[in-house]
Amino acid sequence: MDKNQLEIKINKTAIDIFSLKKSDDFDESEYKTLFIKLSDLIWRWVKITFGKKVENASVEIMQCIKRSISSYNECENEYIKYISASLKIEIEKANRKNQLSEMELIKIPEKKQKKINQILKYAERYGKNLDSDNDAKKIASVFNLNDFEIREYLQWKYQAEVLQNCANSSDNEEYSLIDNFVSNHNYTFSPEKNFFINDEKLENEKKLEDLFFLIESLYLKEKENTENQKSAKQYLSSLITRQLLDELSKVNIFDKEKICELLDKKDFVDKSMIQSFKNNKISTQQEVAAWYNKDKTDASRKLKTFLQKLQEKLSTIEKVDSSV
C-alpha cells in the first residue's frame, strides 16, 4: 500500500472512530479495534514519510496518536493533515533529544578559557562587536593573534555555549523565536490544540504581532551608519526572516498566505525571502550565511546574539508585568 492509499484509509478509519464516539450506541470493543487499526495505518504511513527518524520516536508517536483521538473533533476529512503536523513535531523533538544525549560537551583547556575571557572582557569594555570582522581584527592585534586564531577562539567558545545551553534546557530543544516568546507569556503553540480553531488562531495572531513588535524595536536599533553596518543589518534581517518562516511553517497553524501577510510589512523582514517562501522555498541557515560570505557558525552566532537581546527584553517586560 502506497502513501496516498494509506492516507485515504487513515482518514476513513478516523471518521469511523469519531462517528462511534458521537454515537449513542458506543461500543468499547469496537472502539479498541478501530484504534488498533488506525494506529497500524499511521505507523505504516510514518515509516514511509519519516524513514529512519521514527526509530527514536516510538513512544512519542503512540502518545501523539492517543492525544489526537481525544483532542481532534472537527473537519474529520482533514485528520491526516492534523496528525501529520503533530507527528512531525514529536519525531523531530525525539531525534533532537537522542542527538543531544550522545553529544559530549566541549571542555576548553584552562589557558584557552582564560584567553577567551580576556577577549570578551576587552570587547565589552571598549564596546567592540565580536560579530564584526573589523572589530575582531582590531582585537586580534591587541592580543597578538592572527585572524584565524581569534575566530578559532570565538568559535570554540560559541560551540561550548550552545551545547551547554542545550544540556541545561528543560526539554533539550533548540532555542526558538516563537517557543521562547510564547513560553514567557504562558502560551504554547500546539497543532493538536489549535489547527482548526478559528478563535484560537486569532489569539495566536495577536501573540505573533506582539512578538514581531519586539523584534522590530530591537532590529531598528541596529546601526547602519557605514556600509559594513548596513550589510550586517541586512544579514540579520535575512537570518530572522529565515528563522520565522521555518518555525511558522512547522507549527502548521497558519497557511502560507497568512504567514506572508503577517510578515510582509515588517521592517525587519527580508522581502526577497518572502517571495521565495511563496514559491515553496525556505533557505537553510547555511545558504543565508553564504549570501553574505559567512559560514553557518557565524550565522548561528549572530542569530543567537539577537535572540539573547530578545530574551532580555522579554525578561524586562515580565518583571514590569509582575510588578503591576
Together in a domain, 30 and 71: yes
Give φ, ψ of 295 to 5 degrees.
-110, 175
CB distance 127 to 65 below 8 Å: no
Together in a domain, 132 and 238: no
Q: What is the pLDDT of residue 159?
A: 53
pTM of the predicted model, to two decimals?
Answer: 0.44
What are 71's three cell numbers?
483532542
- The whole domain housing 163 covers 103-173
Together in a domain, 254 and 270: yes
Question: From the first residue on, what is the mean pLDDT of each consecutive set of 10 residues in the chain (324 residues)?
Answer: 88 87 82 87 89 80 84 68 84 71 55 80 79 80 82 64 45 50 41 35 67 87 86 92 85 79 88 89 89 87 85 64 47
Together in a domain, 288 and 206: yes
Together in a domain, 308 and 178: yes
- Domain end residue (candidates: 149, 173, 197): 173
Residues near 94 by Cβ (< 8 Å), separated by ≥ 6? 56, 57, 59, 60
Q: What is the pLDDT of residue 179?
A: 54
- Domain end residue (candidates: 75, 101, 127): 101
- Domain end residue (candidates: 83, 101, 119): 101
Together in a domain, 13 and 141: no
